[in-house]
């Protein structure tokens, strides 16, 4: 016997099948989370790492950023992005999931990203005056504001003989993804004035650099009413979350580095 056709103007009844409960701390399938757009986009770092020459890769290792050579993250789903940013509490340095709290400390940063908590401090500053090395690096671009794509292009030019300029280029990309980006398409380069002629980029405390950025990452986002723009280290927050939780949206084998997924 055929089912009766619904009358015109009357919508068929929707299924009332209850949704299955998901694990604690994991976004539920039926939840309507807002999406989040971020300025700390991972695409250019992903592309850069994939095309580095042998000499460039060795240069990255010299700076203590060797684990970043495993970076295989080409974006973060917008709803997961909103979820991890919303749940992160800078005052306690935790991703607060209610019954589960994921602490982000120096030890966690070293374990996941290989960034040791030792070495010289690289400050972020609003100062505009640049030293000789920093000024020469920036003059290669011929303008005040620089995009990630332009940095990647310069890095390719230095494939055979990477020197100090390549290192600053890589730090700029690393910083924009794992620390803080600008609030437009241009890079935030407030670490550059701290690079003096005598600065040893092979002895920087990247652990502290990242932790300091985490502590201030929600200041602007919160003051703007939790708007869609986030300039903090979204990739870092997401990777900590994925490493700690069974997340059905992103597949990560725990035996692998969380920098790959």
CA distance 7 to 40: 51
How many other C-beta atoms can be found within 10 angstroms of the C-beta atom of residue 233?
A: 25
Rounded CA gap, 172 and 44, in Å? Answer: 11
pLDDT at 203 over 70: yes
The predicted pLDDT at position 194 comes to 95
pLDDT, tens digit (0-9, with 9 covering 90-100), for 17-61: 434 334 444 445 555 677 776 766 788 999 999 999 999 999 999
DSSP assignments along 128-161, one per residue: ----HHHHHHHHTTTSS--BHHHHHHHHHHTSSS
Question: How large a percentage of the chain has pLDDT more than 90?
Answer: 58
Average pLDDT over residues 117-121: 97
Q: Coil, helix or strand for 189? A: coil
Pairing of strands 229-230, 101-103: unpaired
What pLDDT was estimated at residue 251? 46
Q: What is the pLDDT of residue 244?
A: 86
More confident residue, 181 or 88: 88
Check whether 170 has a pLDDT greater than 80.
yes
Which has more pLDDT, 258 or 14? 258
pLDDT for 15:
43
Query: Mean of the per-residue pLDDT values for the chain?
Result: 83
Domain boundary assignment for the chain: 37-244
DSSP letter at 66 equals G
pLDDT of residue 95: 97
10: pLDDT strictly greater than 80: no
Q: Is 88 helix (H, G, I), strand (E, B) or coil?
A: strand
More confident residue, 74 or 90: 90
C-alpha dist (Å) from residue 90 to 142, 184, 197, 215 = 37, 23, 34, 5
> What pLDDT sits at residue 185?
84
What pTM was estimated for this model as a whole?
Answer: 0.81
Residue 43 Cα to chain centre, angstroms:
10
Please give the average per-residue pLDDT across 102-107, as a whole number. Answer: 96
């Amino acid at each position: 016997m055929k089912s009766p056709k619904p009358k015109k103007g009357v919508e068929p009844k929707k299924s009332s099948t209850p949704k299955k409960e998901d694990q604690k701390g994991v976004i539920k399938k039926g939840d309507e989370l807002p999406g989040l757009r971020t300025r700390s986009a991972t695409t250019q770092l992903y592309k850069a790492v994939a095309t580095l020459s042998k000499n460039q890769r060795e240069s990255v290792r010299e700076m203590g950023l060797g684990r970043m050579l495993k970076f295989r993250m080409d974006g973060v789903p917008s709803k997961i992005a909103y979820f991890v940013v919303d749940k992160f509490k800078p005052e306690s340095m935790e991703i607060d999931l209610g019954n589960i709290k994921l602490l982000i400390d120096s030890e966690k940063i070293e374990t996941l990203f290989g960034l040791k908590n030792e070495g010289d401090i690289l400050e972020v500053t609003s100062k505009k005056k640049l030293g000789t090395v920093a000024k020469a690096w920036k003059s290669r671009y011929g303008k005040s504001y620089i995009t990630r794509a332009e940095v990647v292009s310069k890095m390719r030019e230095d494939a055979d003989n990477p020197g100090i300029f390549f290192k600053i280029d890589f730090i700029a990309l690393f910083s924009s993804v794992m620390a803080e980006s600008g609030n437009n398409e241009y890079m935030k380069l407030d670490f550059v004035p701290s690079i003096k002629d005598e600065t040893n980029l092979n002895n920087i405390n990247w652990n502290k650099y990242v932790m300091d950025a985490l502590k201030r990452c929600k200041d602007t986002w919160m003051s703007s009413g939790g708007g869609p723009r986030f300039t903090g280290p979204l990739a870092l927050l997401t990777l900590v979350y994925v490493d700690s939780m069974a997340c059905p949206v992103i597949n990560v084998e725990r035996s692998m580095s969380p920098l790959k997924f």
